[in-house]
Amino acid sequence: VSDPLLARLRDVVGAAQVLTDPDVLATYGTDWTRRFHGAPRFVVRPGGTAELAAVLAECHAAGVPVVPQGGNTSLVGGATPAAGEAVLSLARLDDLGEIDVVAGDVLAGAGVTLARLQETARAHGLRFGVDLASRDSATLGGMAATNAGGIHVLRHGMMRAQVAGIEAVLADGSVLSRLSLAGKDNTGYDLASLLVGSEGTLAVISRLRLRLVPDPPHRAVALAGFATLADLLATVAHVRDALPSLEAAALVREHTGVGAPLQGDWPLYVLFEAAGREPQELLLAEAVLDAPVPPGDAVVAADGPTQARLWAYRERHTESVNAAGVPHKFDVAVPLGALAEFVAKVEPGIRAHAPAARVITFGHVAEGNLHVNVLGVPDEAEHAVAESVLGLVAGLGGSISAEHGIGLAKRDWLHLTRPPADIAAMRALKAALDGRGILNPNVLFPAPG
Ligand code: 2HG
Ligand code: ZN
């Protein structure tokens, strides 16, 4: 191809790192759920910050929009290009520094996978506070850019809480560097925090300084079955207050293809996980069974393989839903006091527009965060279904995205939970840092027109 931009990019990153093969482009142009598609103009894979900066400077000068992409595991179309846009793959920014056990942190390239960081940290008696099912593919840069949540938010918070410093490249190729080794830094705008959750619209994250936490030697996992949501919520509140070592309280709804977890069939299950310096099995069992209305049935596992088997009931939801069709995903949060009303109303609301739809709900119950996955939504009902779920959430004082972000999937509903002044301030930031609008131009803000 004789495109002058491509020739310049080949000079920067090497010919092998500018991809134009249509089959290859198609994989970068399709999101993990297969709901969003784009035909990228090319894919460019810089090998370090200097190359990334030079690539952005070239694309900026040519006015070619770029969509940053890490492991392509977004569940909201956050890394899918529109036709004619380029994909900027960060996969090759995969340097992982030495773990600093004294400071309890590490310097990692944006393209390092979560699983690799977890493995390396564990070898030093540490771990990373965020964990999620797509750990083998999800990359740290994308996780920071989307402020990913995951299964241990209850204990360690979301991605923002783990980021101690950031290096990022602006649209025009200038490099921001806040990777300072100083333990404390109170010198003006916190650019790292601003970029976390900005979904690739303000800058492209190239490196991160990430906090690590101690890896507790003892861990226990319990799975408990409940007859009603009221009983379940009362037990979760009790366990959360009784057990400071609680790491997760996850709502499990379906157990596709893994065999029944407990004797009897329960409409609702919660998976609890606790970790600490003392053995956790009895502490967790006691906390669960001491609840005002204890679960109908429960198992507790102290050994790794059984724990992994119990976690599989929770973690496999996403892949089994994907195997059954192309899902519409609603990652929402409502105040705990409104959870029962949400659960009672959400399905009838969807069915009013898509009578044959299948609704699978699971999530992170302690945070009021539900993942409402809907299969079998006809194209013509798409808008009305989203309106009904997200409108219900907003009416109950919740958030239309608890942890996956806005992406393409929810941009038209941002106004439901962000007031006009918020959106105007976000647009002003976008215009100030990316005046030509080349960075991930389609996500976050409502579609024009
Ligand atoms: C999870 O909690 C992830 O497992 C994915 O956030 C949720 O597939 C989903 O909707
Ligand atoms: Zn989740």
DSSP state of 444: S
**CA 368 to centroid of ligand 1, rounded, Å:** 14
Ligand 1 and 318: CB distance under 6 A? yes
* Pair 249, 154: CB distance under 8 Å: yes
- Region 117-121: mean pLDDT is 98
Q: Which atom of ligand 1 is nearest to the CA of 151?
A: 2
Classify strands 213-214 and 218-226 as parallel, antiparallel or unpaired. unpaired
**Integer Cα distance of 81 and 39 in angstroms:** 7
pLDDT for 1 beyond 90: no
pLDDT tens digit string along 369-395?
999 999 999 999 999 999 999 999 999
**Which residue's CA lies nearest to atom 4 of ligand 1?**
315
Protein residue with least CA distance to atom 5, ligand 1: 318
For the segment 387-407, the average pLDDT, to the nearest whole number, is: 98
pLDDT tens per residue across span 179-208 = 976 677 888 999 999 999 999 999 999 999
Give the closest residue (by CA) to ligand 1 atom 6. 150
307-345 in b/e burial notation, b at 16+ Cβ within 10 A?
Answer: bebbbebbbbbbeebbeeeebbbbbbbbeeebbeebbee
The residue to mutate among 35, 74, 75, 330, having the most atoms of ligand 1 within 8 angstroms of its beta carbon, is 75
Q: What is the mean pLDDT of the chain?
A: 95
Q: Could you tell me if the CB of 329 is within 6 A of ligand 1?
A: yes
How far away, in angstroms, is 359 Cα from ligand 1 center?
Answer: 14
Q: For the whole model, what pTM was predicted?
A: 0.96
37: helix, coil or strand? strand
Q: How far is the CA of 132 from the centre of ligand 1 (A)?
A: 8
From ligand 1's centre to the CA of 362, what distance in Å? 8
Atom of ligand 1 nearest to the CA of 318: 8
**What's the rounded Cα separation, in Å, for the pair 285 and 279?**
11
Helix or strand (DSSP H, E) at 43: strand 43-44
Confidence of residue 257 (pLDDT cuts 50, 70, 90): low
Q: What tokens appear for 203 in the block?
A: 């800058």
The pLDDT of 277-288, averaged and rounded, is 97
pLDDT of residue 186: 87
Q: Which residues pair with 220 in a beta bridge?
A: 274
What is the per-residue pLDDT for 259?
63
pLDDT band of residue 76 (cuts 50, 70, 90) is very high
Distances (CA, A) of 413 to 341, 393, 417: 21, 11, 8
- Distance CA(385)–CA(405), nearest Å, equals 19
Q: In terms of DSSP H, where are the helices of 135-259?
A: 140-145, 153-156, 191-195, 229-242
Please work out whether the CB of residue 133 comes within 6 Å of at least one atom of ligand 1.
yes
Alpha carbons 433 and 436: distance in angstroms, whole number: 9
In the structure, what pLDDT confidence band is assigned to residue 261 with cuts at 50, 70 and 90? Answer: confident
Which ligand 1 atom is the nearest neighbour of the CA of 250?
2
Ligand 2 centroid vs 265 CA: distance in angstroms? 24
175: amino acid identity, one letter: V
What pLDDT is recorded for position 27?
Answer: 97
| Ligand 2 midpoint to CA 219 (Å) | 21
209-232: pLDDT as tens digits: 999 999 999 999 999 999 999 999
Residue pair 143/112 in contact (Cβ under 8 Å)? The answer is no
Per residue in 436-449, pLDDT (tens digit) is 999 999 999 998 77
247, 318, 358, 400: residue to mutate for ligand 1 pocket, most atoms within 8 A of CB: 318
Atom nearest to 133 CA in ligand 1:
4
| Distance from residue 372's CA to the centre of ligand 2 (Å) | 10
Query: What's the gap in Å between 104 CA and the centre of ligand 2?
Result: 26
Which residues on neighbouring strands pair with residue 226, listed in sequence order?
A: 268
Q: Is 371 in the pocket of ligand 1 (CB under 6 A)?
A: yes
Q: Which atom of ligand 1 is nearest to the CA of 371?
A: 10
Q: Mind listing the pLDDT tens digit for each residue in 122-179?
A: 999 999 999 999 999 999 999 999 999 999 999 999 999 999 999 999 999 999 999 9
Question: Going by CA atoms, what residue is nearest to atom 8 of ligand 1?
Answer: 318
Residue nearest to atom 3 of ligand 1 (CA): 150
Any atom of ligand 1 within 6 Å of the Cβ of 373: yes
Tell how far the Cα of 403 is from the centroid of ligand 2, in angstroms.
Answer: 7
Look at residue 19 in the predicted model and tell me its pLDDT.
98
Q: Residue 71: is its pLDDT beyond 60?
A: yes
pLDDT at residue 180 in the model: 75
For the segment 246-257, the average pLDDT, to the nearest whole number, is 80
Cβ pair 365, 388 in contact under 8 A: no
Question: What is the distance in A from the centroid of ligand 1 to the CA of 213?
Answer: 23
Given pLDDT bands bounded at 50, 70 and 90, which one contains residue 255?
A: low
- Which of 330, 127, 306 is CA-nearest to residue 221? 306
Of 12-16, 39-43, 257-261, 394-398, minimum mean pLDDT range:
257-261
Residue 2: predicted pLDDT: 67
Task: Give 425's Cβ-side CA count (13 Å radius).
Answer: 6
d(CA 360, CA 358): 7
